[in-house]
Structure formats: structure tokens, C-alpha cells
Chain A
Amino acid sequence: MAAEAIVFVFRLFVAGQSERSQAAEANLRALCDDHLAGRYKLEVIDTVQRPDLAEVERILATPMVVRLAPLPPRRVIGDLSHHRRAAAALGIPIPGDPPSERTTP
């Protein structure tokens, strides 16, 4: 399937090594490992270390994950503690959760 070849690129912005930052990273990695194994890239940026990058991306709230690919870009704020909602917001396909173009009977 063509969809299998799509590579997801994520950039996760956090603020310091807080519990929330760690939770967000762990949740996102778990989601990707479970559903995008081998076809995702994840870069974590600490805005406390790199405020200039936060400035360029105009980020206020953290944690924030930006899906850079596939296009269009998507932004999700929060620690992603609700996996199913996080997956839907980031467009990560989850088995048993049919894509929106198909309708469930």
C-alpha cells in the first residue's frame, strides 16, 4: 500500500526537563513505535535551550508537536496523554479507527 511508504516527520517542542515534557515525548514515541514503526522521524527541541527556534516557530504553549510531513503541517499542544485523540489530531492511522473518508456502518 502506498500509504505504508509515507514518512512522518515530527518536531516536538518542550520547555525544560519537566514531567510534562517527558510525558509528551514518551507518549509521542509510544504512538509512533506502535503505529509508524520504521517510518517516522522525531526531533525534540527544548525551548529553554533554543528560544530562538521557539521564536521562529512562534510557539507559546508547550509541549507542542509539529507534524512537518506529510503536508499539510499540523500542530498539537499538550502532553498527548490521550493516545487516540493525539493520533487523530496528528493524522496517525490507528487500526480499528478507520480514516475519515470511510464511513462506519
Chain B
Amino acid sequence: MSDAQSIERTPTGINGFDQVALGGLPAGRSTLVTGSTGSGKTVFAVEFLARGVTQFDDPAVFVTFEETPADIRRNSATLGFAIEQWEAADKWAFVDASESIAEEAVVVGTYDFGALAARIDHAVRQVGAKRVSIDSLDAIFTRYPDNSVVRHQLFRLAATLEPLGVTSLLTAERTSEYDGVSRYGVEEFAVDNVVTLRNVLVDGNRRRTVEVVKFRGCPHRTGEWLFTIDPQDGVVVIPLAFLTPREHAATTRVSSGNAELDEMCGGGWYQDAIVLLTGPTGAGKTLTSLQFAAAGAAGGERCLLYSFDENREQLVRNAAGWGIDLDALQTSGLVSVICDYPEVASLEDHFLRVRRAIEEFTPVRLVIDTLSSLERIATPPALLDFVLALAGVLRHYEITALLTSATAGRTTPTIATEIASLADVTIILRYVEQAGEIARAIAVLQTRGSAHDPSVRRVTIDADGLHISDRWSHVALDPTEPTLTWTASSRQPPR
């Protein structure tokens, strides 16, 4: 079509989906949403209508072939969708086409779905619907003989939706995640627009993704996007939902909590900086995190400390060992400590938890210690998505963030590099083997928008915390070096 540019969109209102779809579903047309069992088709179909009612005041018709309206009302109530009230207010109507044993019928001769079309038409006019969801087409195939007849009749049904001027969403089941499109070949009549939901097991982790397979005549983002089904927020597509360009860059600097480190970074970190601190276990990551939090609290700033490694008691004890009274900081209300084990939730759910904690506590500083612990529950690309999504939230609220990462993780160098490329400041802590002694060293690899001290410096840790002393020559610096230690030797690195 020559006027492809002019195809309007109906924003779904589904968290993050419209960013992937570049505006929403093609308006006035049908979109097929396919997915395997449990991929979230029904939730998607319900949300498309519910968000329409709540955000755009679009009345809706839900045609259900599978679940009963009572089930849908009950399941949706947990997401805060008051379908019953909307029905009473003529904002929502069900066309109940769910199966009932009492209504089984014998087929003699040819038939069509004329009565169903009449019912949908009636419901659409009754509430003045702008959106229609039909869930799911497969259920109807199992009830009537001869799939080709059913398919043809559904094609005609879909065609009757168009003159009604509604944007419709039809769901259909897929038997496998990556072959074909749907079980009964229903895409034959909805070829224009197809969205696929997937729920696959990757390295023992459930991974839900959404992909816009095609929108005829409409641009959209490609590829699979992670999403989760949150008990409160429903479908949340990550990371684009929150990836907004930085509106402006902060010029104010804040202290890391360590004067020498501030100096190495050119005078502290920019207020909107995302700082990545990598280093092996015991090198001083948690200590640096605590000092960063304590410095914020000392200046009256709220700091959210998220630990994926230690429980609260361990953290309080360790802090005390370095002269930081974490209990007092928490009591002051300026520091909030959240300890969560990575295994208690999926990566997407962790993201939502962190986001919710940020929205509730409204911190100025955030620590995540350690980011790499999440590798236990996620693949490296998924972790990158997590960081991308988090960066969006952090930049939106202009939070100074310190993310720590263990170097011994299974993160591939490429992913580490990509995560580092998102960070504004990259700092590494390492062990240094020297004359029968293990010492610690620190180096700043990059500080975006600022000069920094490129030298490797010696680090000592005592009851007062972490101290950075003079420049340390003869230490070979290789940031991509996967081992835990650098060697201080006479061998100078080739420069």
C-alpha cells in the first residue's frame, strides 16, 4: 500500500509493548497473537482490553472460547481490573463462547458462524467497542469437525470485524516454540499482523519473550524481547519499556565515600553516573559499597543497598568490622537494606522488585552488590537486558548507582564489555601477588565525561575501611584478564 505511513496504531497500554511495536497494534485491523500453552496469551488478550478501558477509555468486547467469563473476571481481579464494574458501566462486554457439555451438538450438513458474528456485532454496538479480543481460536477447532471448514469460517468471522472499525486481537496456540506459527494454521487469515509469545527453558531458567513477527505496512522493532507476567503489573516487556534517552547530563559530582577514589575519578562521580566495580571475592567490593552508602547518608541522601550475596546480619557484622554502623544508618531512615537471594525469583521479577523498591524508597544512591550473582539464574544476554532496563530506571530518576561484579563469573568477556559500555565509570579491584604476599590494587578504567587517574594504586583494608595509597608501578594491567590476580613482576606490560 502506498499509504503505509498513514496506518494508525492502537496503543495497547501494555507495559513496554508499545515501544517494541513502535506505537501499538495496527488500528482497525486484526492481529494474531500466537504462543504455546502457558505463554501468556490470555493475559495479553485481557490486558489489551483492560488497559484500553483504563488508559484510553476504549470500550471493549472479550470473546472467549476457552475460559468462562467468571474465570476471566476472577483472574483479572488480581491485576486490579474491575471487569464486573466495567460491565455494569457498559465499558466491557463478554461474548461467552466457552464450551458447555450441555450444548454439544451433532453436525448435519454445512454451517457457518453467523450467530457468533451476530453476537459479536451486537456486543460491539452495545458498548461502542473500540477493541475486541478473541481467545483462543484453537478451542473452536476441537469442537467442530473438519478443520478446513472451521478455518474458512473463522476467516469469514475475522472479515466481519473489519467493517466494525475495531482493533482486534486473536489468540492461537503454537505446538512448538520455533517451528511454524500455529497449530491449526489460522495465520492464513490473519497474515497481516502476527505477534509471538514464547516461554522457553534456557539453561534451567524460564525465559518469556515477545516478538512482533510482522505488521504489514507498519514498522516495528524486531527480535525477541524479554517480558514477565507480574502479579501486580501484568505483562511487562523489558528492557525497552524503560529505555529512554538521557534528557540531560548531570554536572554535579558526588562523593564515592572514599576521598582517594574521588580523586582518581577526577573529583567524585557525576550524580547520574552508573559505576561498575569489578573484582574478585574479598577484594573490597562490599566495603566500597558500604562506604558509598554511608557517605550518602552522611550528606542526608537516601541510599538503597541491594545485596544478592549476603543476608542482613552478615552485612551488619561486616560493616561493623570496618567501622560502619549499618543498623544506625537503617534506623536513621536514610539507608534501606534489601537482601534477596537470586534464586527466589526470575531475573525479570528481580528487575521489577528493584524498580518497585526504587519507586517506594526514592533513593538518591543505589548499590547492587553483586550484580554477577544474578548469573546463577540468568544467561549473560538476559543479564545485559537487566542492566539495560535498570539503567533506564536509574537515568530517569537521576540516581547515582554502584553496581559490583565478581570477576570469576561465567560472564563472557563480550557481555562484560557490553555491560561496561553502559557504565559511566568502570573501576577494577584486583589481587596482586608480590614477594610472597597477596596485596590489593585498584584502577579506574574509564570515567565518561571526565578525566581520571590511570594509575594502578595499592589498596589496604583495616578497621577504618578501605584506603588507597600511592601509585604502584610494575603491575601489569590487563582489564580483560580473567584470572583473579595481577602479577607484580619485573615484566613490564607491552605498551
Cβ of B9 within 8 Å of any chain A Cβ, yes or no, is: no
B100 in contact with A62 (CB, 8 Å): no
- Residues from 260 to 276 in B contacting A, C-beta threshold 8 Å: none
Task: Tell me the minimal C-beta distance from B36 to chain A in angstroms.
Answer: 25
Within the assembled complex, what's the spacing in Å between the Cα atoms of A39 and B111? Answer: 27
How does the 8 Å CB contact mask read for A41-53 relative to B, with 1 for contact and 0 for none? 0000001100110
Q: Is the CB of B116 closer than 8 A to any CB of chain A? A: yes
B contact residues, total (Cβ < 8 Å): 26
Cβ contacts under 8 Å, B4 to chain A = none
Asked if B27 CB lies within 8 Å of chain A CBs, one says no
Nearest-neighbour CB distance to chain A for B128, whole angstroms, equals 16
For B116, the chain A residues whose CB sits under 8 A away are 59-61
Assess whether A58 is in contact with B110, with CB atoms less than 8 Å apart.
Answer: no
Q: Closest Cβ of chain A: how far from B178's Cβ, in Å?
A: 33
Which residues in A have their C-beta under 8 angstroms from that of B110?
20, 78-79, 81
Most buried by B among A18, A20, A52, A55: A55
Q: Which residue of A lies closest to B110 (CB)?
A: A79
| Interface segment out of the listed B117-125, B422-430, B456-464 | B117-125
> Could you tell me the distance in whole angstroms from the C-beta of B278 to the nearest C-beta in chain A?
61
Inter-chain contact A51/B118, CB cutoff 8 Å: yes
The verdict on B3 contacting chain A, using a C-beta distance below 8 Å, is no
> Who on chain B is nearest to A46 by CB?
B118
B359 lies within 8 A of chain A by Cβ: no
Instruction: Identify A15's interface contact among B104, B109, B117, CB under 8 A.
Output: B117
Query: A55 contacts B95, CB within 8 Å?
Result: yes
A17 vs B364: C-alpha distance when bound (angstroms): 70
Chain A neighbourhood of B107, CB < 8 A: 76-78
In the bound complex, do residue B105 and residue A47 qualify as a contact, i.e. CB atoms below 8 Å apart? no
Q: Complex: how many Å from CA A58 to CA B122? A: 13
Tell me how far the C-beta of B122 lies from the nearest C-beta in chain A, rounded to whole angstroms. Answer: 3
Provide the residues of chain A in CB contact with B119, threshold 8 Å.
47, 51, 54-55, 59-60
Q: How far is the CB of A72 from chain B (nearest CB, A)?
A: 9
Once A54-B119, A60-B97, A61-B144 are accepted as A-B contacts, the answer to whether A14 and B114 lie under 8 Å apart by CB is yes
Q: What's the minimum C-beta distance from A20 to chain B, rounded to whole angstroms?
A: 6
Interchain nearest-CB distance for A67 vs B (Å): 11
A47 and B108 within 8 A (CB): no
For residue A82, CB closer than 8 A to chain B, the reply is yes
Provided the pairs A15-B118, A48-B118, A51-B122 are in contact, do residues A75 and B105 lie with their beta carbons within 8 angstroms? yes
Set A15, A54, A89: member contacting B106, Cβ < 8 A? A89
The A-contacting residues of B in range 210-259, CB under 8 angstroms, are none
How far apart sit A74 and B122, CA to CA, in the bound complex (Å)? 26
Question: A55 to nearest B CB, angstroms?
Answer: 5
Residue in B103, B111, B113, B116 whose Cβ sees the most chain A Cβ within 10 Å: B111
**Contacting pair A86 B108 (CB below 8 A):** yes
B310 proximal to A (CB < 8 A): no
Quick one: CB contact mask for B139-166 with A, threshold 8 Å, 1 for yes? 0100010000000000000000000000
CB of B435 closer than 8 Å to a CB of A: no
Size range of the chain A interface in the assembly: 35 or more
Most buried by B among A15, A61, A76, A79: A61
Query: Hey, which chain A residues are within 8 Å of B97, CB to CB?
Result: 58, 60
A8 interfacial by beta-carbon distance below 8 Å: no
CA distance A60 to B117 in the complex (A): 8
Closest chain A residue to B94, Cβ basis: A55
**Smallest Cβ-Cβ distance to A82: which chain B residue:** B108
Given A55-B95, A89-B106, also A48-B111 (CB < 8 A): no
> Does any Cβ of A come within 8 Å of B96's Cβ?
yes
Measured CA separation A15–B336 after assembly (Å): 65
The smallest C-beta distance from A42 to any residue of chain B, in angstroms, reads 16
A24: chain B residues within 8 A (beta carbon): 109
CB distance from A7 to the nearest CB of B (A): 22
Question: Which residues A1-40 have CB closer than 8 A to chain B?
Answer: 13-16, 18, 20-21, 23-24, 27
Task: Give the nearest-CB partner of A79 in chain B.
Answer: B109
Chain B residue at smallest Cβ distance from A89: B106
B115 touches A62 (CB 8 A): yes
Contact, CB under 8 Å: A80 / B109: yes
Q: Are B95 and A62 in contact (CB under 8 A)?
A: no
**B113 and A60 contact, CB distance less than 8 A:** yes
The reply to whether B115 and A76 form a contact with Cβ atoms under 8 Å apart is no
Shortest Cβ distance from residue A94 to the other chain B in the assembled complex, whole angstroms: 14
CB of B112 closer than 8 Å to a CB of A: yes
Q: What chain B residues lie within 8 Å of A58 (beta carbons)?
A: 96-97, 100, 103
A64 contacts which chain B residues (CB < 8 A)? Answer: 105, 111, 115
User: Which residues of A lie under 8 Å from residue B106 when comparing CB positions?
Assistant: 74-77, 89
Contact mask for chain B residues 69-106; partner A; CB cutoff 8 A; 1 contact, 0 none: 00000000000000000000000000111001001111
Would you call B114 and A48 a contact (CB within 8 A)?
Answer: yes
**CB-CB under 8 A for A62 and B108, given A51-B121, A55-B119, A75-B103:** no
Listed A/B pairs (22) with beta-carbon separation below 8 Å:
A13-B115, A15-B115, A15-B118, A23-B109, A47-B118, A48-B118, A54-B115, A54-B119, A58-B96, A59-B115, A59-B119, A60-B115, A61-B144, A62-B113, A64-B111, A75-B105, A76-B106, A77-B106, A78-B109, A78-B110, A80-B108, A81-B109
Please report A residues at the B interface, Cβ cutoff 8 Å.
13-16, 18, 20-21, 23-24, 27, 47-48, 51-52, 54-55, 58-64, 74-82, 85-86, 89
